[in-house]
Structure 1
Amino acid sequence: MYGFAGQMVRINLKTKKIEKKSLSEDFAREWLGARGMVAKILYDEVPRDADPLGPQNKLIVAPGVLTGTFTGAGSKCGFGAISPATNGHADASVGGHLGPEIKFAGYDLIVFDDISEEPVYLFINDDEIELKSAKHLWGKGSIDCEKQLKEELGDDFEIATIGPAGENGVVFSCITHDFGRNAGRCGIGAVMGSKRIKAIAVKGTKSI
């Protein structure tokens, strides 16, 4: 499928199970793009009365079908969940290199389920995917956190983080990337914080 990397990742934060699945061509064609696929997953899997900051909510990371290509707006990365600000469907997006890097690592969707018992960050280096401890990062501002992870992992990793606002469930908190770009709608940072995900770090070397 042109424009798709061809895989999605499911991560259960409670059990630490990480599962890669092929992206169905029928699913991709019917729900084309990040927002469509996010909406379908939320509608099918999250109960209408779910607590947005509870374990039944999802956090979905979804680069668009054009992300990683040389088209206009080809840098966008979407985030989806049930919003703690509105209790309805939430989507937010950020530019920069995060979305393309996820596609270059081989993935079109990342779906986080449940809640981690302790702070973690998601580490992706092409086929290698791991949840790593973020205890040493918890409490840091988003820009300081990104700087520290780049020092630990290397400048060639693209990083998305939350700060203390997201950690503490502030309903207008953001997810920050590239030292100041923000996925700023719907309190998506609070959902990430409720799941105790401090950051997402990605390096991809493949092509679309």
Structure 2
Amino acid sequence: MHGWVGKILWVDLGKAELNEETLDPQVAKDYIGGRGLGIHYLLKGLDPKCDPFSTENLLVMATGPLTGTGAPTGSRYMVMTKSPLTGAITCSNSGGYFPRELKRSGFDGIVFMGRAESPMYLWIEQGKAELREASHLWGKNTHDTTDLLLQETDTKARIACIGPAGERRVLFASIMNDRDRAAGRSGVGAVMGSKNLKAVVVRGKGKISLADKIGFKTLNKQILDRFKKEVSETPLGLTINGTAGVVAATQNFGVLPTKNWQQGTFEGWENIQGERLTENFLVKNSACYGCPIGCGRKTKVSNQEFAGEGEGPEYETIYAMGSNCMIDNLAAITKANYLCNELGMDTISMGATIACAMELVDRGFLPEDEIGRSLKWGDAEALV
């Protein structure tokens, strides 16, 4: 099939068994993309009444027909499961290089079932897969886990893993890939942790078949040229200030989430906008495979109180931990973003939780002595 590898890997963690399934061309056509494939396998094998943390729940990682082809913005993968946060089917997606590498390693997707008796990780290299012991990685943050797995497998491998939040089944735990890219929403990391699955490590050099290589290349160039002209280099383009540039736009339109969604504008918005991130913390841009935009931010905070380095924050993190908490300290927001990434925790839900707690304190419903510290609107120290 063009655009597909044609294989799905089934991993029964409870039995430590791995089986390959040939992807039905009709299924690939009817359920286009990673989200479609995920829905197909969940509908096919999931009891809708199951507990999200039970062995009956499935965890699906799936790519689409454009993944790994070099199509602009096409390096994404979907993680689908029954969410422990909502109780419904959820889809969380992420970019980077892991999606391309997963497909090049020989599989369009992976379906995890059951629960391993002890922590394990899945290692896939050029179409060959095996489960390996991961007890020595349990309890480690996502960055340390990534570094150790690169040493154990292949320094050019790509890794998706959980941190302590996923291991402890925090309801908004994320799956982190390529160190700081996140499939962050709805607790997919918690489901992965409930299965005692610490990481998925992939390495491959396979090529994706194209029906019309010349036509694809021509269309790709047209899209890239248009991206460069209309998206990347415009004053509001994502290349310049990343998604953090959206702060100014939402403020101007009166829809910047503020004070736990009580307001649509924030007095301190200029201190947390994309220009400040670029001026004060940007080290360099980063991009997903095949993407001409480069909206990713490699950043570093030198401020002694909030020192650290990593990637981000994105717009959603800035509003969730910034304006929504009435915090205009971008160094603190960036540090909190680093911590969430290392712990494997969704920054949006984390920020929303803190904002809610601040409002409860403000309205007298949550005594501060129950928290153990002050939790006022705008308290940057409390955020971190």
Please report the TM-score for the alignment, with normalisation by the length of structure 1.
Answer: 0.98
Extract unaligned runs of 5+ from structure 2: 209-384
CA distance in 2, matches of 1:73, 1:51: 34
Identity of aligned residues (%): 38
Q: The residue matched to 1:2 in structure 2 has which SS?
A: coil
> Which of the pair is proportionally richer in strand?
1
**1:180 is matched with which residue?**
180
- Displacement of 1:154 after TM fit? 2.4
Q: 2:54 is aligned with what amino acid?
A: G
1:82 match: 82
Deviations 1:59-116 (A, max 9, x none): 1110122100121221101111000000001111111111111111111110011111
Provide runs of 4+ in structure 1 moved above 6 Å.
none
**Equivalent position SS for 2:207:** coil
Partner Cα separation in structure 1 for residue 161 and residue 73 of structure 2: 22
Q: Give the match for residue 141 of structure 1.
A: 141
Q: Partners of 2:154 and 2:37 in 1: how far apart?
A: 31
Aligned to 2:225: none
Question: How far apart are the structure 2 equivalents of 1:130 and 1:158?
Answer: 16
Where in structure 1 are there 5+ consecutive unaligned residues?
none
Relative contact order higher in (CA < 8 Å, ≥ 6 apart): 1
1:91: which partner in 2?
A: 91
Quote the offset at 1:149 in angstroms: 0.7
**1:8-61 deviation line (CA, Å, top 9, x unaligned):** 111110111100121110111111111111112112211121000110100111
Correspondence 1:45-194 to 2 at 5 A = 45-194=45-194
Letter in 1 for 2:3: G
Distance 2:113 2:153 in 1: 25
Give the equivalent residue in structure 2 for 1:201: 201
Letter in 2 for 1:13: L
Q: TM-score, normalised by structure 2?
A: 0.53
Tell me the C-alpha RMSD between the 2 structures: 0.9
Q: Is the 8 A contact 2:154 2:203 kept in 1?
A: no
Letter in 2 for 1:178: D
- Residue in structure 2 matched with residue 31 of structure 1 by the alignment: 31
Larger Rg: 2
Structure 1: distance between partners of 2:110 and 2:73: 20
